Amino acid sequence: MIHKFLPHTPEDIQQMLKRIGINSLEDLYAEVPESIRLKKDYDIPEDMSELEIRAFFDKLGQKNDVLTCFAGGGVYDHYAPSIISNLLSRSEFLTSYTPYQAEISQGTLHYIFEFQSMMAELTGLDIANASMYEGTTATAEAMMVAFDNAKKADTVLYSEALNENIIGVLKTYAHFHGIKLKGIKTENGATSHNDLKRHIDKGGVAGVIVQQPNRNGIIEDFTGFAEDCHEKKALFIINGIASDLALLKTPGEWGADIAVGDLQSLGIPMSFGGPYAGYMCATEKLMRKLPGRIVGKTKDSRGQRVFALTLQAREQHIRRQKATSNICSNQSLMALYVTIYMSLMGKEGMKEAAQISYDGAHYLCDQLIGTGKAKLVYDKPFFNEFLVQVQNRDAFFDKAIKKGILPGIKIDDDKLLIAVTEKRTKEEVDMLVGLL
């Protein structure tokens, strides 16, 4: 059957079928089992005007339950100034050509350059690239950099305090690239320095990956980690929540060789779980090992400031087997988004948002424990996310949902991982506590 919303005429279809040597659409789908074929007309409504379509989707959208979010686990409900969406659509950015030809893509190259500069400063490292797909694959790409950088070592260590989705992606990449992955045990919710040293001393380690704050929300102490790694020629890699770096000790200050993570916490909407965009920053000596793009600033023949791609270790630009990255999805629109966010917020604004998130989380934690029905799982410093053991956890969770609150992420049988951002008010926090 030909449907009015499908553009091909019967003549078009017959011409295509003849080209591939079959007579009908039934022959084309002959291998599809009868049991899963649609035997009726498509359930597509009649054509509508723009006004009718808007009303239709408004009505459909009302079926969504919009909850007050206390969940985190790598995705956080941060505020984004409304001006960002307007600046995103400015013609010098929106219509700029993809950055292969510098002369017609100055808008794109300019904001990527600014993005790199800001991320390098935020992480305390020398260089930043652009176009990482999102935080988990950026971490896997950093693992690949460590593996390629090593002469003979084939093992990469990861802290078992990394988020589970990051560990899953690391295992997938490692499996197909011949990398041996080994976990570093945790002690009281944080990465065990002793277990790290035990693995490192065995030799053959190309890199070590940790997370800050870790999957339990704990602010880890990485004192001595970098020295132990570098003594054995291994790279030290920190996956960090970008917004938290406004207050926390930077990866550069910890002696990290590479910093990676997701950009979502820099004002990007939660968007049903992503993907968002990733970042990767490194020391200057690793510049030629980084995947993605690096934009540089120079002057043209007239002495005017111009931007150009200086390093392009992607398969579009060089021989595929020489590429260090085969992820083509260019996330530079999201890089522009967070560049505008950081520009608008400024250093002090980012610090203030992080401080409000920190203070709110500690207030909520104290109030929950004060009820006598919740207990902090790990007695360790945390930032804006913490793990608590809750009496009658499931009943409390369900009660909160009915009141329009997502109270956190369920962990094990009786624990909740709870996050607070600058968007959560004292009234919302007190309401959550009151439900417990």
Q: What is the pLDDT along the chain (436 residues), one digit of tens a residue?
A: 556 677 888 899 999 999 999 999 889 999 999 899 888 887 777 788 999 999 999 999 999 888 999 999 999 999 999 999 899 988 888 887 777 788 888 998 999 999 999 999 999 999 998 878 899 999 999 999 999 999 889 999 999 999 999 999 999 999 988 999 999 999 999 999 999 999 999 999 999 999 999 999 999 999 999 999 999 999 999 999 999 999 999 999 999 999 999 999 999 999 888 788 999 999 999 988 888 778 999 999 999 999 988 876 555 555 656 666 555 555 788 999 999 999 999 999 999 999 999 999 999 999 999 999 999 999 999 999 999 999 999 999 999 999 999 999 999 999 999 999 999 999 999 999 999 9
How high is the pLDDT of residue 322?
Answer: 62
In this prediction, residue 14 carries a pLDDT of 92
What span, in angstroms and rounded, lies between the C-alpha atoms of 216 and 218? Answer: 5
- Distance set, CA 360 to CA 265, 384, 403 (Å): 16, 7, 20
Residues 6+ apart with CB under 8 A from 197: 228
pLDDT of residue 314: 54
Quote the CA–CA distance of 151 and 376 in Å, as a whole number.
44
pLDDT at 342: 97
CA distance 314 to 323: 5
Cβ contacts of 333 within 8 Å, gap of 6 or more: 88
Strands 127-128 and 205-212: unpaired
Residue in 177, 147, 117 with CA at minimum distance from that of residue 286: 147
Within 8 A by CB and 6+ apart from 190, the residues are 161, 214, 216, 218, 220, 221, 378, 380
Strands (E), 269-348: 278-282, 293-299, 305-312
Task: Measure the CA–CA gap between 270 and 276, rounded to whole angstroms.
Answer: 9
Helix (H) or strand (E) holding 55: helix 50-61
**Per-residue tokens: 351:** 């610090």
| Residues 354 and 78: beta-carbon distance below 8 Å | no
